[in-house]
C-alpha cells in the first residue's frame, strides 16, 4: 500500500522541514522527486540525502513568487503526477504591528507562490487527465491564533484555493486537498526561539510544545505520513478536504 512507483512528484520548500520529510518518504515509496527550493545548498543537500537512500531526486532552484521561474522549472520537469505545496514563511504580529512589507511578504510566498504552482501544475495535469495536489494550510485557518494576523490570512487563502481547485477540476480527475498542522518541530522553530528568546530556549520550547493538548510538537515525518496517504491511490475518493494534524489543538484546546 501507499506505493508511488512511476509517479513524478514536485515538492516546493523541499529543502528542509516538512517538505524534506515528504521528499524522503515519497522517494522511499518509489516516486521520482523534484525538490523546489530557494535555498540552493539545502535543496541540493536534500537531493543528495534522497539519492544516498537509493531514491531518485532532482534539485530545482526556484523562487515560487516568480511565476516565470515556476513555469520554467515545471517545463523542465515535464509530467507532474503529484504537487505538494510546502514552501511558506511565517510572521508574528497582530494587525497593528504587521507592516505593509510584512503583509506583502506573507502574501507573495504563502498565497501567490501557491497560486503560481497550482496554475502551472493544473495545466499539466489536465493534459494527462489525472493528478493530485496537497497544500499545506494550518490550524491558523481553523481557529484564531494570537499574533498571527498575516500568517492566518495567508493560510486561510490556501484553504480557500484548495476548495476552489478541487471543485473546478474534479471532472479532470485532479484531486486537491490540504492539511492543517499545529506546531511542527522544524529548523524554523529552533531559529525562531533562538532569535526571539535568547537564553530561554529550553523554557520556550517546552511552553510551545505543551500548547498542543498531546503535550509535544509534531515531527516532520508524522506530517509526511498523512501527506503520503492523501497523495496515494488509496485516497482516490478524497478531494476538497482539509485534514487537521494537530495533537488535539483545534478540538481539545479549550
Q: What residues are annotated to the active site?
A: 151
Going from the C-alpha of 169 to that of each of 153, 173, 174, 218, the distances in angstroms are 24, 7, 6, 32
Q: What is the H or E stretch that residue 188 is in?
A: helix 187-196
Going from the C-alpha of 134 to that of each of 121, 147, 175, the distances in angstroms are 12, 26, 8
Q: How far apart are the first and last CA of the chain?
A: 37
Cβ neighbours of residue 45 closer than 8 Å, sequence gap 6 or more? 15
How far, in Å, CA of 152 to CA of 91, rounded? 9
Q: Cβ distance 223 to 18 under 8 Å?
A: yes
Amino acid at each position: 500500500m501507499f506505493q508511488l512507483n512511476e509517479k513524478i512528484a514536485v515538492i516546493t520548500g523541499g529543502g528542509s522541514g516538512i517538505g524534506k520529510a515528504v521528499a524522503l518518504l515519497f522517494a522511499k515509496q518509489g516516486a521520482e522527486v523534484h525538490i523546489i527550493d530557494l535555498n540552493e545548498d539545502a535543496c541540493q543537500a536534500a537531493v543528495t540525502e534522497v539519492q544516498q537512500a537509493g531514491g531518485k531526486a532532482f534539485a530545482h532552484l526556484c523562487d515560487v513568487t516568480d511565476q516565470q521561474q515556476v513555469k520554467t522549472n515545471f517545463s523542465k520537469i515535464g509530467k507532474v503526477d503529484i504537487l505538494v505545496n510546502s514552501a511558506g514563511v511565517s510572521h508574528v504580529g497582530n494587525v497593528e504591528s504587521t507592516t505593509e512589507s510584512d503583509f506583502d511578504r506573507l502574501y507573495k510566498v504563502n498565497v501567490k507562490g501557491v497560486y503560481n504552482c497550482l496554475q502551472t501544475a493544473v495545466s499539466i495535469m489536465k493534459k494527462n487527465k489525472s493528478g493530485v495536489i496537497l497544500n499545506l494550510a494550518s490550524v491558523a485557518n481553523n481557529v484564531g491564533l494570537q499574533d498571527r494576523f498575516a500568517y492566518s490570512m495567508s493560510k486561510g487563502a490556501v484553504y480557500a484555493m484548495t476548495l476552489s481547485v478541487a471543485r473546478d477540476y474534479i471532472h479532470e480527475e485532479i484531486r486537491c486537498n490540504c492539511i492543517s498542522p499545529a506546531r511542527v518541530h522544524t529548523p524554523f522553530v529552533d531559529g525562531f526561539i533562538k532569535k526571539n528568546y535568547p537564553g530561554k530556549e529550553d523554557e520556550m520550547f517546552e511552553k510551545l510544545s505543551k500548547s498542543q493538548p498531546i503535550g509535544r510538537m509534531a515531527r516532520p515525518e508524522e506530517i509526511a505520513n498523512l501527506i503520503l496517504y492523501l497523495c496515494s491511490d488509496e485516497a482516490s475518493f478524497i478531494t476538497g478536504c482539509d485534514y487537521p494534524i494537530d495533537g488535539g489543538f483545534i478540538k481539545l484546546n479549550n
